[in-house]
Amino acid sequence: MIDSLIALIILIIVLGIVVFVINMLIDLIPMDSRFKSIAKVLLILVAVLILIARALPLIGVGTGHL
């Protein structure tokens, strides 16, 4: 259980850094502000979905155990 929590914390840190870097790169790309906003929302959505997918097994959801 502790190993899973440590892995989740490491994932949060790495994912946060990756999201930050990609967010900075999105700002550097010359495109319309609407597309930048959409790209940023999609980036955050993907990051949240990754975190949810990794956190659900820790609380016993989706593992097949009741």
Longest alpha-carbon distance in the chain: 50
Please write the tens of the pLDDT for every residue from 7-49: 889 999 999 999 999 999 999 999 999 999 999 999 999 999 9
Q: 24: burial class by Cβ within 10 Å (0-12, 13-18, 19+)?
A: exposed
Output the pTM of the full model. Answer: 0.80
26 CB-near residues (< 8 Å, 6+ apart): 36, 39, 40, 43
Alpha-carbon torsion (54, 56, 62, 66), positive or negative: positive
